[in-house]
């Protein structure tokens, strides 16, 4: 680490104050002259600059060298993880037109717990308890959200709730997760060498993971054809498996997995893939970065193991975040509410004597009134097929 710190001091000296500031989560350079930081969830431009494009490129080259990679005109893209866990992404000219684009996502010190997420207003106590129940009951779960919405952070929190008696296999592109549980094995993909040989993909790792007696499999980010392998693993007795994916609603998350799964095996008919996905995935947890910079879980939804004649998934929101206003400072104010829908696995909650009684799914009166109003409006407009595509 010492060596790396030296090179930060030399090559990244202009942005070092921000790298050292705990309130800053990301440093973004759009060419040498335009630098932004993300502080408490919001972006701001900062009054520092690299001397010139060469200086910025030297910094990126140095980082690349440090992690054993090369960046130059022929290899203008870098995606790497630093020894301290920070994630660095860079694109060099000619692909980046304004000069080198660099993003450093700092590794947040100490991974948060459910209590931290509750205190930050990212989730309510009740909704967190419900997710705990889902983890205990080994429900297969997908965390869905946009870039930087907090998917990985949430996966860390949920993963750490897995009972310590179970063996957990974690598969990632660039190791990022730090799940606190007793029995966990970490695996990471491998880049090909200079001759394009020796690559190990997420698909390869899921296949070998299945031979390593996992109870549960966690895939850090599903963004390729491995979606099919994860779904298959979930369908074949690795209950309680998890992954994250980029999507804006729970419904879109399933569609995205479907698209990814088809990339790998286009011989499987789409109807079959949909059936497998709806059978494999029990829950989708949607997380969002809101306008005020906060991250919130906006929906916790159950996926029913059925698709209709049009091939649509059946999704039911169990909890939702409902915005109720904004403070004069622009902070979003709202509540996490149960929608009144009782999950199909309620009997499992009861026979396992889990402390989550039915009444907890009752929505507050104001929410019921709001829903009734919305329903009558939809009726008036003559629309709405009520398929539960909520955000």
Ligand X SMILES: Nc1ncnc2c1ncn2[C@@H]1O[C@H](COP(=O)(O)OP(=O)(O)OP(=O)(O)O)[C@@H](O)[C@H]1O
Binding site for ligand X (CB under 6 A): 25, 108, 117, 120, 122, 145, 147-153, 295
Indicate the residue among 61 and 151 with the shorter CB distance to ligand X: 151
Indicate the residue among 149 and 276 with the shorter CB distance to ligand X: 149
Count of residues interacting with Mg ion (CB under 5 A): 2
d(CA 379, CA 244): 36
Please enumerate in sequence order all residues whose Cβ is within 8 A of that of 7, keeping only pairs 6 or more positions apart, or say none. Answer: 62, 63, 66
Smallest distance from ligand X to CB 373, Å: 31
**Residue 339: contacted member of Mg ion, ligand X, none (CB under 5 to 8 Å, by partner type):** none
**Residue 122: contacted member of ligand X, Mg ion, none (CB under 5 to 8 Å, by partner type):** ligand X
d(CA 186, CA 273): 28
Smallest distance from ligand X to CB 116, Å: 8
Smallest distance from ligand X to CB 117, Å: 5
Beta bridge partners of residue 44, listed in sequence order: 37
Smallest distance from ligand X to CB 333, Å: 16
Indicate the residue among 252 and 348 with the shorter CB distance to ligand X: 252
Beta bridge partners of residue 325, listed in sequence order: 333
**What's the CA angle centered on 359, arms 357 and 362, to 5 degrees?**
140
Indicate the residue among 150 and 338 with the shorter CB distance to ligand X: 150
Indicate the residue among 274 and 295 with the shorter CB distance to ligand X: 295
Handedness of CA 222, 225, 228, 229 (dihedral sign): negative
Indicate the residue among 183 and 223 with the shorter CB distance to ligand X: 223
d(CA 103, CA 101): 7
Smallest distance from ligand X to CB 22, Å: 10
Indicate the residue among 171 and 349 with the shorter CB distance to Mg ion: 171
Indicate the residue among 121 and 239 with the shorter CB distance to ligand X: 121
Smallest distance from ligand X to CB 96, Å: 18
Smallest distance from ligand X to CB 59, Å: 21
Please enumerate in sequence order all residues whose Cβ is within 8 A of that of 347, keeping only pairs 6 or more positions apart, or say none. Answer: none
**Residue 145: contacted member of ligand X, Mg ion, none (CB under 5 to 8 Å, by partner type):** ligand X
Residue of this chain nearest to Mg ion (CB atom): 152
**Residue 93: contacted member of Mg ion, ligand X, none (CB under 5 to 8 Å, by partner type):** none
Q: Which of residues 108-167 bind Mg ion (CB under 5 A)?
A: 151-152
Indicate the residue among 239 and 293 with the shorter CB distance to ligand X: 293
**Residue 295: contacted member of ligand X, Mg ion, none (CB under 5 to 8 Å, by partner type):** ligand X
Counting Cα atoms < 13 Å in the Cβ hemisphere of 226 gives: 26
Q: Under a CB-based contact definition with an 8 Å cutoff, are residues 136 and 163 in contact?
A: yes
Smallest distance from ligand X to CB 130, Å: 17
Smallest distance from ligand X to CB 125, Å: 15
Site of interaction with Mg ion (CB under 5 A)? 151-152
């Amino acid at each position: 680490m010492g060596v790396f710190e030296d090179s930060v001091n030399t090559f990244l000296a202009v942005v070092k104050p921000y790298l050292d500031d705990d309130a800053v989560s990301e440093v973004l350079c759009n060419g040498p002259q335009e630098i932004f930081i993300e502080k408490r969830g919001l972006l701001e431009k900062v009054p520092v600059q690299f001397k010139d494009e060469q200086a910025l490129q030297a910094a990126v080259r140095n980082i690349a060298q440090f992690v054993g990679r090369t960046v130059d005109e022929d290899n203008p893209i870098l995606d790497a993880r630093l020894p301290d866990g920070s994630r660095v992404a860079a694109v060099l000219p000619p692909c980046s037109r304004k000069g080198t684009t660099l993003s450093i996502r700092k590794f947040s010190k100490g991974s948060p717990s459910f209590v931290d997420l509750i205190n930050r207003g990212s989730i309510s106590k009740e909704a967190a308890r419900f997710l705990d129940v889902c983890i205990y009951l080994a429900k297969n779960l997908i965390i869905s959200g946009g870039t930087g919405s907090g998917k990985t952070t949430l996966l860390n929190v949920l993963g750490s709730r897995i009972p310590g008696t179970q063996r957990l296999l974690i598969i990632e592109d660039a190791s990022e997760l730090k799940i606190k549980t007793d029995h966990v094995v970490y695996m990471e993909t491998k880049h090909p060498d200079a001759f394009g040989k020796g690559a190990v993909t997420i698909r390869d790792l899921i296949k070998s993971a299945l031979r390593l007696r996992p109870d549960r499999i966690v895939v850090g980010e599903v963004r390729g054809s491995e979606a099919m392998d994860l779904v298959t693993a979930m369908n074949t007795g690795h209950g309680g498996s998890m992954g994250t994916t980029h999507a804006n609603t729970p419904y879109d998350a399933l569609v995205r997995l479907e698209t990814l799964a088809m990339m790998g095996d286009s011989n499987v008919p789409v109807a079959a893939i949909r059936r497998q996905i709806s059978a494999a995935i029990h829950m989708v947890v949607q997380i969002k970065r809101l306008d005020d910079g906060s991250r919130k879980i906006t929906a916790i939804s159950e996926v029913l193991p059925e698709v209709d004649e049009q091939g649509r998934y059946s999704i039911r929101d169990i909890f939702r975040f409902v915005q109720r206003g904004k403070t004069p400072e622009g902070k979003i104010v709202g509540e996490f509410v149960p929608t009144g829908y009782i999950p199909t696995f309620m009997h499992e909650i009861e026979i396992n004597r889990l402390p989550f009684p039915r009444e907890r799914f009752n929505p507050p009166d104001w929410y019921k009134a709001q829903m009734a109003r919305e329903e009558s409006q939809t009726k008036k407009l003559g629309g709405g097929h009520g398929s539960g595509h909520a955000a």
